[in-house]
Structure 1
């Protein structure tokens, strides 16, 4: 063997192990990466009551807080119905309170005055009866006159008892049946009031949580049918990632596992948590698969980004997902 050939063999023996170690190190440090995209689960805000759009209080691209008003429909009829329901409720409550306290003080005072008059008349009739009985015993008057005085005194006593009973009745509340019937009227008026307030509130929808205004679907002055969305919101928690992994990698993914996310212009440090792994393959080969075609099976995986990461992602945006 020539000297040149001997040097070539020696160099190859030294180079091959070095290349093998380098390739092994690169393959061991490379993380699996998969392509996917961002998807948004939108919240369409609508009113169950039709009406003209009076005011649109948000615009596309705006971030709104929870309970922030979004829009308002014309509500003249609902405002009038709410006022009517309030007055009916107040009237029913006042009637119930009146039944519970009995008659008014001036009415009781009239009965008290009549009772005082009747007692005075009774005292006068009693005194006259005593005089007539004394005259009858002395023989000065006839028996008939005494009987008349005795009957007059009984009439005056009955009138006193009548007014005393009427005064007690005036001080009593209404009968239990009347109070129960009026209480039912109050409950019915309260239900009508709540219904009127609900219909008025439906003309002024608000955001259920902090969200991005993705789109507005009507302009001020347009007629909005009942149930037709006016504002489309995208809460940060409704942003998710969808990507596909091959069949060998699907077995290692479980809900709750963290993944790294990368995209153009998003910066670094994006992460998400796997929330769903499909049980069946999303795509299958056109023939019965074998050991050679199993690699064509892919499974859908969904992941929810962290709130900080979700604010930097947009629906439809392509992303690259790596498994740490």
Structure 2
């Protein structure tokens, strides 16, 4: 049986111990580092020919990451180029009209027909004089006139053919040939796009977090080959009780402390969850366990994000909540 004085001493010691356990600053919270990964893949499948990066490597924007076999796509580009050249030649041929040798043949025929027409005219005029002298019959005169008229019509027809030959194809044929050129250009662009997709480069400066295939393995369309973690995609998530969440604002500063260094990493709060949740298992604080909390996200500067690693536990101090 404890005496009254001993009981008072025990209660005092217990209170002192409890006060020491809950003596953490009111603006100190526990959290962890998270990363939003960029999974780089190709929309077209194929065997992995070249893997240009390794895990843990830092790459700059535009740095080649990997290449899949692309013989089929390269052949499609070559075929599309020849198709475009054929369509362009067809359009040029229709715009120019017939070949010079064909036009020369028509011109020669026109000269010959004109000479025949001139001779037929002389024969007709001679017959007109002879009919006036009653030397020939009316039938002979009619025959000469018919021959002269036929020769004149032949001259007009060949002259029209020559004009048509110099004009080229009809307008609707030229429009059709132009459409074929545009179609061939579109096919070439499509073939080039397919070929370009077989090789992927880094979309931004980033850390190669993981490589998911080895050279020689078959990669299905859309399957990630390289996982990147850009510094701008690193964030810190921490949890605050509902008693203080109303005091936080987007843009507030938060200092992140990690084990092994005394230099805090400056961050800026950019997201405050609108919904409460129970403290997640990753948070081991005895003071916040089994309490309703709100998740807060903060981002460091890209240069500072390189020193943070996803899954790393951290302590977060929010200066604006200091008592």
Shorter-chain TM range is 0.7 to 0.9
Cα distance, 1:266–1:175 mapped onto 2, change above 3 Å: farther
SS of the counterpart of 1:107?
Answer: helix
Q: For the Cα contact (< 8 Å) 1:32–1:323, is it kept in 2? A: yes
Equivalent runs, 1:274-293 vs 2, <5 Å: 274-283=269-278
CA–CA distance in 2 between the matches of 1:61 and 1:301?
28
For residue 79 of structure 1, what is the aligned residue in structure 2? 74
CA–CA distance in 2 between the matches of 1:295 and 1:316?
21
For residue 300 of structure 2, what is the aligned residue in structure 1? 305
| Deviation (angstroms), 1:62 | 1.8
For residue 175 of structure 1, what is the aligned residue in structure 2? 170
Q: For the Cα contact (< 8 Å) 2:278–2:290, is it kept in 1? A: no
Correspondent of 1:130 among 125, 145, 149: 125
| Deviation (angstroms), 1:110 | 1.9
| Deviation (angstroms), 1:235 | 1.0
Q: For the Cα contact (< 8 Å) 1:247–1:295, is it kept in 2? A: no
Cα distance, 1:294–1:83 mapped onto 2, change above 3 Å: closer
Correspondent of 2:54 among 47, 53, 59: 59
TM-score (norm 1): 0.82
| Deviation (angstroms), 1:95 | 1.7
Correspondent of 1:166 among 161, 179, 189: 161
| Deviation (angstroms), 1:101 | 3.2
Matched, 1:219 2:196: no
For residue 239 of structure 1, what is the aligned residue in structure 2? 234
| Deviation (angstroms), 1:294 | 11
Aligned length: 288
Gaps of 5+ in 2: 1-22, 280-287
After TM superposition, the runs of 4+ consecutive aligned structure 1 residues lying more than 6 A away are none
CA–CA distance in 2 between the matches of 1:197 and 1:266?
51
Gaps of 5+ in 1: 1-26, 285-292
Equivalent runs, 1:255-274 vs 2, <5 Å: 255-265=250-260, 268=263, 270-274=265-269
| Deviation (angstroms), 1:192 | 2.2
Q: For the Cα contact (< 8 Å) 2:34–2:311, is it kept in 1? A: yes
Equivalent runs, 1:96-175 vs 2, <5 Å: 96-175=91-170
SS of the counterpart of 1:313?
Answer: coil
Q: Give a deviation string over 1:250-305, Cα, whole Å, max 9, x none.
A: 11112221111221345625211111111222217xxxxxxxx9993222111111
For residue 313 of structure 2, what is the aligned residue in structure 1? 318
| Deviation (angstroms), 1:116 | 1.6
CA–CA distance in 2 between the matches of 1:296 and 1:219?
46
Q: Give a deviation string over 1:91-135, Cα, whole Å, max 9, x none.
A: 223222322333233322222221122112211221222223223
| Deviation (angstroms), 1:38 | 0.9
What is the RMSD computed on CA atoms of the aligned residues? 2.3
Cα distance, 1:294–1:51 mapped onto 2, change above 3 Å: closer
Matched, 1:50 2:45: yes
CA–CA distance in 1 between the matches of 2:107 and 2:260?
92
SS of the counterpart of 2:30?
Answer: strand
